[in-house]
Amino acid sequence: MNRAFSKVFISEEGVDFGIIRKATLPFPSELEGAKVLAEDESGNYFIEVNEAVYFWDHETSETEFLASSLDNFISGCAEPETVELKPDQVESVWVDPAFAKKFGIKAKP
């Protein structure tokens, strides 16, 4: 599974799921009994049920089929597309206060 970390899963329809990272406890109670494989940066999970891989949406608790096996899931993972913004395209950003402090920047918590 480590081969999928920091990548996105791209469905056959071209939809990106991810960025995939190691899942950390505690898991939502709705996932009790599921094999949690990984999570994404938004609090969603990639789970394995009967050898198939599903995406679990933390806002709706709904699952979406992604791949028939872990190997097929990993095969569908790719590097995320690089997005470059010009300064005038950025309206706002959130910066971790601990990170900002390292650079002498005061950030809102």
- The tokens for 95 are 């910066």
Tell me the C-alpha distance between 75 and 53, whole Å. 12
Contact 16, 1 (CB under 8 A): no
pLDDT at residue 2, rounded to an integer: 81
Tell me the C-alpha distance between 48 and 68, whole Å. 10
pLDDT digits (tens, 9 = 90+) for 53-98: 999 999 999 999 999 999 999 999 999 988 888 989 988 888 888 8
pTM beyond 0.85: no
Beta bridge partners of 49: 52
